[in-house]
Structure 1
């Protein structure tokens, strides 16, 4: 038996109002590790000094109440530059900053150890991939004359 479109729409509206539209398992929740900031244009002239490279960075936040092991996770830009996390455990409600230049990794800061910039000053996209290569977040930007960073 066919149901008239108006009746089908009414049934859908009632189902949504009753809160039974989708079972909980069918809803997709965002991953708790998110890209929260990209500082894409380090201050001053782009001379590729280590200080300038390290002023370019991306910050991730663990929004959950549990630690997340980032070993094997990747941050990639639109051009394909890829950073792979080593032994990094991102504790609950904490941030980790990935700086482009060279340095010694710590709990809250890790270094790409590059000698060239990653993030384009005009526009780019950052992708966060889990250890299985699944995209869990992304952030795109177009440069603004008022800012050298984007909050995602």
Structure 2
């Protein structure tokens, strides 16, 4: 998780890794925070086993995947999402079951 990038505030991202034994269909899964920011994963987004996805706050900057096992999604926001002093990111499945969360500082 990069919630306070040093140069461009829109370089924030959340990195999610599938540590399960099989692919995970993340269609309509949601990322939220303490301030009700909301990102919904796109239709038919499947994260293979041991792969990761980086969800950027910014729009698509034409970035390529860093490896064969990392994917990039773009929120398309023009302002930062994650609080620099403190916040929590939540990952919810399509039935609104909390899958994971992470808080800082």
Give the TM-score range, shorter chain. 0.7 to 0.9
Q: Could you tell me which residue of structure 2 aligns to residue 118 of structure 1? A: 81
**What residue ranges of structure 2 are gaps of 5+ in the alignment?**
none
Aligned alpha-carbon RMSD (Å): 1.7
Pairing of 1:1-152 with structure 2 (within 5 A): 38-44=1-7, 52-53=9-10, 55-86=11-42, 87-103=44-60, 108-142=71-105
Deviation, 1:60, is 0.4
Shift of 1:52: 3.9
The answer for unaligned runs of 5 or more in structure 1 is: 1-37, 45-50, 143-152
Q: Higher RCO, 1 or 2 (CA under 8 Å, sep at least 6)?
A: 2
Structure number with higher helix proportion: 1
- TM-score (normalizing by structure 2): 0.87
Runs of 4+ in 1 over 3 A off after TM superposition: 104-107
TM-score, length-scaled by structure 1 = 0.61
Alpha-carbon distance in 2 for matches of 1:101, 1:92: 26
Cα drift, residue 61 of structure 1: 0.6
The size of the alignment, in residue pairs, is 98
Higher strand share: 2
Larger C-alpha radius of gyration, 1 or 2?
1
